[in-house]
Structure 1
């Protein structure tokens, strides 16, 4: 049906993604997406629906106490979920409704598997664990957009004060690390953070070269640890994995809030001259 190549599929990947997706999912998802694009007419929304069905099957396995089968189906569900965006970008067939469907599908998979596991265990601690997983999952996906709003508000304030065009810090660092900062043509809204953590730019560059984002414990790694890796070692491993990765997820979210606060504070001190702005 199509003459797409693997390079075409690889070009549809996100510029930066979670390390779990980059190393454990994309190598499989890209090849499955190539087969799907060339030999089927399934739409991105159809793939999202298939991912949701696999997620429900995973939840059913957790409820039945079949933890390894639940883990395998959760991984497969997420892999198919990673295919829909690639197909949409490859064929230009994405829809606005698909964005909503993709978001809801993720939440259904996590909540279903968490409470499916609690049902299978039949214990109060498992129910509390499931509730905690769902709350942390929702917090992560609510906090991210809100921090983005704060960052955009800071950018708008700087743009109004300077008339410059804001650029993302990763773009400048990848082109020539801190060159514009050194020559004074950029107002760096992360300068306060950089002074406190001078090693961070080198770390970010290293990850960016491997297409990995700096948020190393995001919702994706949180889900993978609890529902893909831990089930292979039993119910107790799922408990301790949820506690450990939940703490790490909270710590990384707190770090994002801290960086955003420093950038917003720096935005209030920008000088009124026409410059490019680093945010």
Structure 2
């Protein structure tokens, strides 16, 4: 039905993604997406619905105590979920409603699977820790997806305030620095704004002064298509619904606690970084000099 190649599919991948997706899911998802694109007329929304159905099957397996089957089905559900965006970008068949469906489908899958093994193991063992762990997983998942958009709003507001304070005659360093090390920032910024007289502003100066190793780590990951938030919601789900169940019922609560703690740690690191950037907004001429390149 189509003449797409694997390279066509690979070109639809996100520029940066979670390490779990990049290394553990995309190698399979890309090849399945190639088969779907060339031999079926399936739509991105159709793949999202299929992902939800497989997710419900995973929750049912967890509830029945079939933890390995539940883990395998959850992995398959997420793999199919990774295919819909690739098909949408490849064929240009994505829809605004598909964004909502994909987001809600992810949240429903997490809730069903968490309570699947939580109440399933409680019914077999009588241990309330399983239920408490399941509730914790759902709460942390919701917190992650509420916190992300709010942090973006703060970052956008900070950028807008800086531009207003500098009368719009500025370029943010993050706009000109992508895969290059921070040591090349001055050169990269100069190339980006040559001739327009704009001031280059670095809102991350304070953060990088405290954590000078971070830039080397960032460049290492970006060059491998991995985003720097190494414990995002995706890795959290993988730990709770794939790794934990594969290790057995006794590992469900400890793995959930450790994964939840790491998720909170990385979320707080994002909050800290945004807070430092917000403090860099200049209000005086002297303060303006501190954030200029």
TM-score between both structures, scaled by the size of structure 1: 0.93
Question: For residues 171 and 226 of structure 1, what CA distance do their matches in structure 2 show?
Answer: 37
Contact 1:181 1:188 in 2 (8 A): no
Bigger relative CO (Cα 8 Å, ≥ 6 apart): 1
* Alignment equivalent of 1:195, drawn from 195, 209, 212: 209
What's the counterpart of residue 106 of structure 1? 106
Question: For residues 101 and 165 of structure 1, what CA distance do their matches in structure 2 show?
Answer: 38
How has the CA–CA distance of structure 1 residues 164 and 50 changed in structure 2, closer, same or farther, with 3 Å as cutoff? farther
Cα RMSD of the aligned pairs, angstroms, is 2.2
What's the counterpart of residue 53 of structure 2? 53
Question: For residues 90 and 159 of structure 2, what CA distance do their matches in structure 1 show?
Answer: 31
1:1-279 mapped onto 2 (5 Å cutoff): 1-121=1-121, 122=123, 123=126, 124-162=128-166, 163-164=168-169, 166-167=171-172, 169=174, 172-175=177-180, 177-181=182-186, 185-269=199-283
Contact 2:236 2:259 in 1 (8 A): yes
Unaligned runs of 5+ in 1: none
CA displacement at 1:236 relative to structure 2: 1.3
Stretch moving more, 248-257 or 228-237:
228-237
Stretch moving more, 164-173 or 51-60:
164-173
Q: CA offsets per residue over residues 204-245 of structure 1, 9 Å max, x none? A: 000000011111111100110111111111111111110001
Number of residues of Structure 1 aligned to a counterpart in Structure 2: 276
TM-score between both structures, scaled by the size of structure 2: 0.89
Q: CA offsets per residue over residues 74-103 of structure 1, 9 Å max, x none? A: 000000000000111111111111111001
1:214 counterpart SS class = coil
How has the CA–CA distance of structure 1 residues 32 and 266 changed in structure 2, closer, same or farther, with 3 Å as cutoff? same
Unaligned runs of 5+ in 2: 191-198
